[in-house]
Structure 1
């Protein structure tokens, strides 16, 4: 609370008390009305029975753990390996997409911060932003066309003799992982860029003058500075990938059911909002627990991520 008061007073000192109050009220309204209250409502739903509308509020409308028990054990006493397996597969895929984005975005962010300048830097930023003017669903369909049996990649591969028959990139989930990695690439680049931009170029030049190879310069100098930005971008990419729905629906193969698709089925196909809410709460809690664990493993605090 003391840190919040200090930050508020500092912001008010720079921009005025009126602006500070407006920002504080707007942020509080956003968090409470659009995040906290919907989550609390969904949490309440998750502990309810799936009853007809006429019985809601009646004696049978009580709290229950049945929806959570179903996730663990299904309709019988055996372990619900299907839903648990889908959740684990979703988390593993989200980790893979996050790592892929880090590998792609780190060098781009470094070049943008310390190598590109003037017109070249502006062109790089424009080149990164303009493709995202296209709707996410249209971009997903574009990836499906690109990786399809008659798409550009298969056509080039067949034309160059790299393979003899069309490769099913959809069934192999190559299209899905590529589409997800591309969908959230900006959320990884700009946090890393903001962190790396603060690095003093003289430190890199001094290390190079002392004979340090490029990999050691990045490992010992750049990465410690970039770690909060990487953690921030990785958190956003992981959470959004775990909760993605459109891309898995469009780009996923027949055996790549995403956990969000299971939630969607409970809400819309089975009309069981209570069980769908329980599954959504489980996904949220598991993702938060995983992110918190990774922050402890890599020794990154919430304050560093928020810088």
Structure 2
């Protein structure tokens, strides 16, 4: 038996260790790996009626992936400009939401991690309480707030900034704000957990040596918080790129999300192989982004999982 398993069973006991190990294996293999492998297999299959499954036409093919790039055969364009544009816009928007959350959440996480007192617990509780409400209800609430007769337009018009209501939904401002708000805790708490363990004496020593606040964060805090930053960026990007409820509720007519295309292929077109191919493309893109984040911050998977 490997050494780490011996230590695991010695620490938790044989019975509890087997239960915990079985649950982890069931979660990892049964609920993650096997469904993804099934999706991968679907993505290489042609879209056939059920009676033809396993027949001579049910062979592996790349046509579902080719459709994403080139579109339908005999189309008027040489490539699938609509779906590729939606895919590109989704990835860029997810990166923008990730950067926005990082800029917004880093000061909050630093304040929470380096401050002491009961008011910090109250502040943290105020951040958590809104998330007791269902995500869909929060999205509808944001749609009301950003609507033409919503709170924001009422305030801006009352102050004389706008003469007429501004369409935050059609301009995708409500969508980006909704995505950023939906995953803000997933950026704050990984960074907070790391910064909380940072010795304040390091910051005080850098300040005594004449370092500015910018240099203190660039040379001391940020390098120490890299695992939390990379973990937060990874989760926010993947969830933003894979969001479905927020784009459907808060998105304007021209803000089609790639996950909505996947949903249409599965449910509206009943084309599971095509939907599976689109889902695999999005999954691989997210994995490549995670690897890029790890390389950028020079962290490994163990650091992200801390």
Q: TM-score range by the shorter chain?
A: over 0.9
Partner of 2:165: 166
Structure 2: runs of 5 or more not aligned: none
Structure 1: runs of 5 or more not aligned: none
Are the structure 2 counterparts of residues 8 and 124 from structure 1 closer, same or farther at C-alpha, using a change threshold of 3 Å? farther
Question: Whole-Å Cα distance in 2 between the matches of residues 7 and 198 of structure 1?
Answer: 26
Matches within 5 A, 1:254-293: 254-293=253-292
Contact in 2 for aligned 1:100/1:181 (Cα 8 Å):
yes
Are the structure 2 counterparts of residues 231 and 145 from structure 1 closer, same or farther at C-alpha, using a change threshold of 3 Å? same
Q: CA deviation at 1:31?
A: 0.6
Partner of 1:27: 24
Partner of 2:36: 39
Q: CA deviation at 1:303?
A: 1.9
1:223 is paired with a residue whose SS is helix
2:253 is paired with a residue whose SS is coil
Q: CA deviation at 1:297?
A: 2.7
Contact in 2 for aligned 1:187/1:237 (Cα 8 Å):
yes
Partner of 2:86: 86
In the alignment, structure 1 residue 65 sits paired with structure 2 residue 86: no
Q: CA deviation at 1:7?
A: 4.1
Question: Whole-Å Cα distance in 2 between the matches of residues 46 and 80 of structure 1?
Answer: 18
Are the structure 2 counterparts of residues 7 and 204 from structure 1 closer, same or farther at C-alpha, using a change threshold of 3 Å? farther
TM-score (norm 1): 0.95
Contact in 1 for aligned 2:230/2:293 (Cα 8 Å):
no
Deviates more, 1:81-90 or 1:237-246: 81-90
Question: Whole-Å Cα distance in 1 between the matches of residues 259 and 228 of structure 2?
Answer: 27
Partner of 2:100: 100
TM-score (norm 2): 0.95
2:169 is paired with a residue whose SS is coil
In the alignment, structure 1 residue 18 sits paired with structure 2 residue 20: no
Q: CA deviation at 1:205?
A: 1.2
Runs of 4+ in 1 over 6 A off after TM superposition: none
Contact in 2 for aligned 1:72/1:79 (Cα 8 Å):
yes
Question: Whole-Å Cα distance in 2 between the matches of residues 6 and 103 of structure 1?
Answer: 42
Contact in 2 for aligned 1:8/1:20 (Cα 8 Å):
no
Partner of 2:48: 51
Contact in 1 for aligned 2:234/2:293 (Cα 8 Å):
no
2:225 is paired with a residue whose SS is helix
Are the structure 2 counterparts of residues 51 and 291 from structure 1 closer, same or farther at C-alpha, using a change threshold of 3 Å? same
Matches within 5 A, 1:132-171: 132-171=131-170
Question: Whole-Å Cα distance in 2 between the matches of residues 18 and 208 of structure 1?
Answer: 52
Partner of 2:204: 205
Question: Whole-Å Cα distance in 1 between the matches of residues 4 and 135 of structure 2?
Answer: 36
In angstroms, what is the RMSD of aligned CA positions? 1.5
